[in-house]
Amino acid sequence: MITSYITHPRCHDHFMGPEHPESPQRLDAIRARLSLSGVLQQTMQSEAKPATAEQIERVHPARHLASLDRCVPEEGLTMLDGDTLMNPASMEAARVAAGAVVRGVDQVYRGQADNVFCAVRPPGHHAEASDAMGFCFLNNIAVGAAHAIAQHGAERVAILDFDVHQCNGTVDIFKDHPNVLVCSSFQYPFYPWRYLRSQWHNIIDTPLPAGTDGPAFRRAVEDDWLPALHAFKPDLVLVSAGFDAHRCDPMADLCLEADDFHWVTQLALDIAALYADNRLVSVLEGGYDMEALGRCAEAHVSALLGLPFED
């Protein structure tokens, strides 16, 4: 198995203030842990390219992109909402983050890699078609899914999201889309407080009460996701990899361990092997305790590489 690791230095330049949990240190923590363990050296490393306007506008209207560009400050910070701020480099970083998923999709369809992990920020799964929120400006996973459909002829794209927060942006963009299945596990009831109850046939929600541990998470995912995935038979698997459901994360109250992320990654790989010729592209979403984030990312990338979990 060839695992591609895609990132870009520009992702460090997006900064929302010294107290903000979505910080450049997140990528440093991931890279340091993967390097120390030797996992990073087993991947094929490459740099992202910015997503083009055409690629972004498949999921966001042009007016949304123009509105965001107008908000970029010449210096300092601009607040879009209580959680989401911009500095002068934010939109460049957002375009690179979305472009990483596009490049990952290209790599798996061209046979350059079996699977991909995009270590990029800002995250994307809260960005709705016309609304930036929840630390997110552009919906990275959605841009990648739309690119796969438009450029590679993907007919059945499965998006698996195991962030502690529900992927309201991804749901907003793809609800009732005939070519996309979205499976999302999340703490309930919890932010973002919208789209928490699915009314669309292609959105599979797995709401989890606060305190849910690994065994309960695994049972719920198997019960909810596997029947839908086997019925759908995706020809591409995309993963929104949020690691903030770890028990040490300060943002929420689920109690997963690093090996649970190895397990759910293996589940996604099994589906990709069955139906998608191994094609799987993952992109970083949440995860805000630096030590836990590094360990969970190591578990995730180890699974992508076909390596066993090591604590």
**Would you please indicate which residues are annotated as catalytic (active-site) residues?**
126
DSSP the chain: --EEEEE-GGGGT----TT-SS-THHHHHHHHHHHHHT-GGGSEEEE--PPPHHHHTTTS-HHHHHHHHHH--SSS-EESSSS-EE-TTHHHHHHHHHHHHHHHHHHHHTTS-SEEEE--SS--TT-BTTB-BTTBSS-HHHHHHHHHHHHH--S-EEEEE--SS--HHHHHHHTT-TTEEEEEEEESS-TT-SS-S--STTEEEEEE-TT-BHHHHHHHHHHHHHHHHHHH--SEEEEEE--TTBTT-TT---BB-HHHHHHHHHHHHHHHHHHSTT-EEEEE-----HHHHHHHHHHHHHHHHTPPP--
Dihedral sign, CA of 56, 64, 194, 178? negative
Cβ-based burial of 21 (10 A; exposed 0-12, middle 13-18, buried ≥19): middle
